[in-house]
Structure 1
Amino acid sequence: MKKAVILLSGGLDSTTCMAVAKAEGYELYPISFDYGQKHDRELALASKIAEHYSAAEHRVIKMQNIGGSALTDSDIEVPEYSEDGGVPVTYVPARNLLFLSYALGYAEVVGADAIFIGVSSVDYSGYPDCRPEFIDAFRKMVEVGTVAGLEGNPIEIVTPLIDLSKAETVKLGVKLGAPYEYTTSCYNGEEEACGVCDSCVLRLRGFQEAGIEDPIAYKKLT
């Protein structure tokens, strides 16, 4: 059976990627990261999602927190949603670059054919490492920096959500039976999502535009 490493955060997008990989017949090797985020709720839910899908193995990688983001630095507050534009303070420097690098090493170890990551060029919150240009650059690195690449069979970087809006992502996940009730998107990480941070607002808007009820609880609905 072909194998896939999935970057699994416990959020809506990465869980949709799990559902897509499962539907495409991959044996699942999700990988999650403790990168110094202010809460561990997403990691607990990632484990639950991995169990739901009977993953072959679920790795949680412990990383050093370098700060510089509202998600990892206690001195920077998580802001409420804003349409001001620009890169928000919730951007974590080099996060997807580091995550994909770990995932690539893991993929070589387990003999995976593909790595799934839930980035979107339509709804990416201003993060530079969620754009197609970044993914294309990493694919080039895979070709020149791995044994599989040098042998002409590079590990595929799969981005099933890259051209999808949040509403389209929700519809896809629901169609594939993704367990959204086990997911969290809130940057504050409490049992009830705040409903006002960027991630909550974008998620809620996606469910509303899809005409589907979000199965998780919120403190406040925008």
Structure 2
Amino acid sequence: MFVYMGLEMTSKKKAVVLVSGGLDSTTVLAIAHSLGYDCYSISFDYGQRHRAELQAATDIAKRQGVVAHKVVTLDLSTIGGSALTDPNIPVPEQETSGIPITYVPARNTVFLSIALGWAEVLEAQDIFIGVNAVDYSGYPDCRPAFISAFETMANLATKLGTEGRQLTIHAPLIDLTKGEIINKGMALGVDYAETVSCYQADGAGRACGKCDSCRLRKEGFAQAGVDDPTPYQS
């Protein structure tokens, strides 16, 4: 048995890992691998404007040696309400207060629910997600209280949970700064040049350098004291 970030590992187990293709989720996948899990990664084609992240997620999953990678299609643009799913709402390029218009209504609730369903099929009791409550954009579904509440629900609502096989939602980055996340990922061999975080990345995955996600990413590399490997649009 060994312990890493509060997680006790006794034998190789299955884990479902949410992978968007961005910096945080790529780090979480590397963490899950380092813990000895057989990783099953899942991404979502949800009508987002920054679709280059989907190819990045697929490539990253392959390079990190997941057992299987699944891309689930569900069109959240049909309900709109976010600059990430409605092309008529511009992506802000200046810092704003409150919950930003890039918040996608109920996105993490929906994503975790589908990941939970796949976990049940796989009989995997562990789900990893890269939410962060320190350097984040003010999204309500990135907070510890949300993760705790979802875990409670997961154990009430599933066959695994009712049979006494405890389901755990792991959010190992939740209390880390972006710089700390980058340093942890680099120690695990993550190549951040492969990741796509920008809310309005072009087809080649090049970042705008202006949106909130780009700003947080830039600040993270500065905090970590390493060069920013992000390819930017001219």
**TM-score interval for Structure 1 and Structure 2 normalised by the shorter chain:** over 0.9
Following TM superposition, by how much is the alpha carbon of 1:217 offset from its aligned partner in structure 2, in angstroms?
1.2
The one-letter amino acid paired with 2:43 is S
Counterpart of 2:42 in structure 1 is 31
Following TM superposition, by how much is the alpha carbon of 1:134 offset from its aligned partner in structure 2, in angstroms?
0.6
Matched, 1:121 2:133: yes
| SS of corresponding position for 1:28 | strand
The correspondence for 1:209, drawn from 223, 226, 234, is 223
Counterpart of 1:142 in structure 2 is 154
| SS of corresponding position for 2:60 | helix
How many residues align structurally?
219
Following TM superposition, by how much is the alpha carbon of 1:148 offset from its aligned partner in structure 2, in angstroms?
1.4
- Structure 1: runs of 5 or more not aligned: none
Following TM superposition, by how much is the alpha carbon of 1:147 offset from its aligned partner in structure 2, in angstroms?
1.3
Matched, 1:165 2:195: no
The one-letter amino acid paired with 2:28 is C
Counterpart of 2:8 in structure 1 is none
The one-letter amino acid paired with 2:81 is G
- Structure 2: runs of 5 or more not aligned: 1-11
| SS of corresponding position for 2:190 | coil
Q: Percent identity at matched positions?
A: 55
The correspondence for 2:206, drawn from 179, 188, 192, is 192
Q: How many Å separate the matches in 2 of 1:148 and 1:41?
A: 35
The correspondence for 1:98, drawn from 99, 107, 110, is 110
Runs of at least 4 residues off by over 3 Å: none
| SS of corresponding position for 1:78 | coil
Counterpart of 1:15 in structure 2 is 26
Counterpart of 2:87 in structure 1 is 74
Q: How many Å separate the matches in 2 of 1:79 and 1:138?
A: 30
Counterpart of 1:42 in structure 2 is 53
Q: How many Å separate the matches in 2 of 1:81 and 1:165?
A: 21
TM-score, normalised to structure 1's length? 0.96
| SS of corresponding position for 2:68 | coil
TM-score, normalised to structure 2's length? 0.91
